[in-house]
Chain A
Amino acid sequence: MSDASEILAPPSPPGFYEWLRKNLFSNWFNALLTIFSLVFLYLALVNVIRWMFFTADWRPVTGSPLLFLIGQYPRDQLWRPGLSLLICALLIGMSWGVWERYVKAFAIFLGILLGVLALIPLETPTITLVVRAVFLVCPFLIFGGFWVGRRSGVQGRHVTTLWLIAAIFILLVLLPGLSSIPALPVVPTTAWGGLLVTLLLAIGGIVLSFPIGVLLALGRRSSLPVVKLFSILFIEVVRGVPLVTILFMFSIILTLFMPAESRIDRILRALMAMVFFSAAYTAENVRGGLQAIPEGQVEAAKALGLSGLQITSFIVLPQALRLVIPNIVGQFISLFKDTTLVIIVGINDLLGIGNAVLNLQPDFVRLQMEVYLFITAIFWVFSYFMSYASLELEKALGVGER
């Protein structure tokens, strides 16, 4: 009999061989499965690597990397996207410094990737020494930003403000140019393309649709009939229509009803469609979270004398949003991937550029696999870091809860 006061140590974890025996070779059938799987994995891996490095023809990708990044943006104005990249690198570094683990993995990955891009020996004339220099500076800017962000005086809201200013400056001044400034000739958005447009649509869609979606979700539960009816109508109509239809509606039908001189830019039109679509889904996700908040929370807040607005913003929304982080991030990831649909309204996003490149030379046509794999990899990387950040966020917010 063991004494009740005796403290038993937990059983020690199994050693490596113990683990192998228990999990992979527990009986002859499992042993067979293990060996079979290893052989299969080996063969698959060898073939994939052989294909990647020897069979595959990566010329469509390596031949015009700038096309994938910025599309047809005039090459004599390259310094403008370059400067944008530098600003973003600095701010990503600062974000890493301030928000630590949410951005850390992405910042390090981006720094290494750009460093590799700067030094990789590609025999392409478009990647000039200056372009390589810009890429090479980015990792240092990221680490510099990190160093700045780590300082105690710098807070999240400062970095958020800087992001906002940078976004406005880059998207409204630097990239499109102003006719009044001779140093910044106007570059029509028809020339924009590639990853630039994909990220613009995705980030713009996420940032703009989120607050609208939250407002719609609150509106749907409002006691004011007009607000409630409008929210329900908006959500149900948008959710009942495919994104492709909304894109068409904004890019074609909208222009028919607008006076010719008030033409809205076509990328902006596509962005509006994405925002509409995403806001309706965000609203439904957030509503799910709102419904999960027990009535007692609202009653306690009311009994304390808090006003309706205060109850919503201090008690209900923070708890509801925390509950729906996985859904919201999942939805943002699908929004990011849905940006590829803008190809049908003639915008050359990443996928559009890929298709265009395949038609560049006759012998490229058979190289679809290479181009699409490359694009897949880019989408995967961004999506992965989004879900990584959301997992970290969930962990951080779970502290001290129930």
Chain B
Amino acid sequence: MGENQEKNEPIILCKDVHKWFDDFHALRGISMEVQLREVVVIFGPSGSGKSTFIRTLNRLEEHQRGQIIVDGIELSHDVRNIERIRMETGMVFQQFNLFPHLSVLQNITLAPIWVRKWTKDQAEEVAMQLLERVGIPEQARKFPGQLSGGQQQRVAIARALAMQPKIMLFDEPTSALDPEMIKEVLDVMIELARSGMTMLVVTHEMGFARGVADRMYFFDEGLIVESGSPDDIFNNPREDRTKLFLSQILHH
């Protein structure tokens, strides 16, 4: 991947996306194209709008100006479009957001059963395959509260994958984890990236970005300050703000 992107229709197309929280201008015109099978890393200081941006892609936040087209469907007030886009995009959150009253297996099978209308057996079979893939099949009958943070986040990834999405959105997936658990989650994400999943990842894990990202975007104050391949960003960043930020997070 990397340099030789096919000039296809992009799977995500954003044009001049704006978002306000009351008077605060959180997104000030974001334009981005993401190709199928591309891995995109978004980074930047806190409050730069990176989380807000990926949350607009599945309408957890509503954008007020501009255009977002996901897999050929335009995000608008049409509820059916929103539901279709949410079926095609999985999301992993900083705080895992597993459902504490459901077992691991029920967490994963809930949406396939009720949204995709699979049978229970079918959904559980897929769920067990996914738990195998993220490395914790033995935890299927447990409840989220009985798992470590790293295990919970891997369940959250399996839960998102169970809907067989075309795109995976990660909103700071390792920020709430203890240091020794970050690797187990990143390993799952790396495996997922190598398998060809289209991924948008908000993260400060620069090792992950260097390893698997096709493209990186540096956000600051609601704008894309700089974008490029990991090679460009790490080895010769053009903007001073990028340089400053990278020096802060790489040498602390």
Contacts and interface: CB of A to CB of B under 8 A. Distances in A.
Interface of A: 294, 296-297, 299-307, 310, 314-315, 318-319, 322, 397, 399-402
Interface string B202-226: 0000000000000000000000000
Contact of A300 (B83, B89, B93): B93
Contacts of A400: 100, 103, 142-146
A399 B86 CA distance: 32
B100 A402 contact: yes
Interface stretch (B19-27, B108-116, B178-186): B108-116
Contact of B115 (A299, A300, A305, A399): A305
Contacts of B159: 304
Contacts of A300: 91, 93, 97-99, 156
Contacts of B169: 303
A322 B102 CA distance: 13
A318 B60 CA distance: 22
Contacts of A299: 60, 93, 97
A180 B123 CA distance: 54
Contacts of B83: 305, 307
Interface in B53-105: 58-60, 83, 86-87, 89-91, 93, 95, 97-101, 103
Interface string B25-62: 00000000000000000000000000000000011100
Contacts of A303: 58, 60, 86, 89-91, 160, 169
Nearest to B98: A300
A402 B87 CA distance: 29
A401 B101 contact: yes
Interface residues of B, number: 31
Interface in B136-179: 142-146, 156, 159-160, 163, 169
A319 B97 CA distance: 13
A397 B159 CA distance: 23
B96 to A, nearest CB: 8
Contacts of B89: 303
A397 to B, nearest CB: 8
Given A400-B143, A401-B145, A306 B110 contact: yes
Given A303-B58, A303-B60, A315 B95 contact: no
> Lowest 4 CB-CB distances: which A-B pairs, in order?
A400-B143, A300-B97, A304-B111, A303-B91
Contacts of B98: 300
A315 B101 CA distance: 8
A304 B146 contact: no
Contacts of B144: 400
